[in-house]
Amino acid sequence: MQIVRHSQQTLKRALISKNPVLVSQYEKLDAGEQRLMNEAFQPASDLFGPITLHSQSDWITSHPEAPQDFEQFFSDPYRKIPSPDKHSIYIQSIGSLGNTRIISEEYIKWLQGYCKAYFYGLRVKLLEPVPVSATKCSFRVNENTQNLQIHAGDILKFLKKKKPEDAFCIVGITMIDLYPRDSWNFVFGQASLTDGVGIFSFARYGSDFYSLRYEGKVKKLKKTSSSDYSIFDNYYIPEITSVLLLRSCKTLTHEIGHIFGLRHCQWLACLMQGSNHLEEADRRPLNLCPICLRKLQCAIGFSIVERYKALVQWIDDESAGTLGATPKHSPEDNGNLPKPVEAFKEWKEWIIKCLAVLQK
């Protein structure tokens, strides 16, 4: 294992900058917010630690890219900024997200609530779910994993046409695997930052995707024409678990972060780290490091205390807006479907520590 450590001076400059205007901006922040962000360059901090690399296949090793400090983010002429008339994140589900209509509807509401808290201050709106056929996308069966895949680029074109006038961005989510071009095996997601659109798949986040007993394999693609989408009528959807919800929240917020102009983080352990594989994605925390937190705060203008409180409330509010406990393959009856937040408990404890620093 390799630890990526930066000097205190490097981290301080990445966070605060040497530009007098940006230094002045930083000094005008609430004292508690400065105290929390200053943890970035405290070697003994138990809130923000260094990035750890576990293999040569990890992102930083295999995808060398220049780091982005706060000043570079702030000065980026191509960065998208929310405005009073473009202040909404839209979520478009493509195909079912759960094994019943109720589970599917509740799952997208959980993701909506999480995004509202994470991007605190922006509106997050849901578009009516659409079947795969509505996108008119190309599709195939993956030769290696034998599962259905839809073409990410085609979906982006569909989303661009559907983007509402007041949208800061529109993101598509699906439980169907994606591929960006014929020569690629798969992709977790794809986005166009200039168009403010993205598509992300949670298919490979199910606990059984890489197992021999995976039920989503298709023996042969029977397609009478390019407009025949009947194979998607009963495609396999993984069971909704707490880990699947956590992975989905991570991917969704990481990719929307890119649409805000945040590049892959190379400073500290952070949600905005790149990930090359599921094991690396699981090591990535849910939280932003102070440098990326300052970037997002600059873009949206939230109070860090209020944002953290909203995230704690989302975790605590296990049944808000839900209908409750529908077993995996049950009929669509009215039961209780509590939000599976067990995997978020450790993060909640971390947020409470941050709030203690902020509210000293």
Active site residue 255: yes
Q: Of the residues 39, 71, 255, 280, which is catalytic?
A: 255
Q: What is the pTM of this model?
A: 0.91
Helix (H, G, I), strand (E, B) or coil at 158: helix
pLDDT in tens, the chain (360 residues): 888 888 999 999 999 999 999 999 999 999 999 999 999 999 889 999 998 888 777 777 878 888 999 999 999 999 999 999 999 999 999 999 988 888 999 999 999 999 999 999 999 999 999 999 999 999 999 988 889 999 999 999 999 999 999 999 999 999 999 999 999 988 888 888 889 999 999 999 988 888 777 888 887 777 667 788 998 988 888 889 999 999 999 999 999 999 999 999 999 999 999 887 888 888 899 999 999 999 999 999 999 999 999 999 999 986 544 333 334 444 444 445 899 999 999 999 999 999 999 998
In the chain, domain spans: 27-78+265-319+338-359, 88-258
How far apart (Å, rounded) are the C-alpha atoms in residues 309 and 4? 31
The answer to whether the beta carbons of residues 112 and 279 sit under 8 Å apart is no
The predicted structure's pLDDT at residue 63: 80
Considering the domain 88-258, what is its CATH architecture?
3-Layer(aba) Sandwich (3.40)
How far apart (Å, rounded) are the C-alpha atoms in residues 207 and 225? 33
Q: CA quadruple 136, 142, 148, 150: dihedral positive or negative?
A: negative
DSSP state of 44: T
Residue partners of 157: CB distance under 8 A and separation at least 6: none
The predicted structure's pLDDT at residue 320: 47
The predicted structure's pLDDT at residue 161: 97
How far apart (Å, rounded) are the C-alpha atoms in residues 247 and 256? 14
Please state the φ and ψ torsions of residue 93, each to the nearest 5 degrees. -85, 140
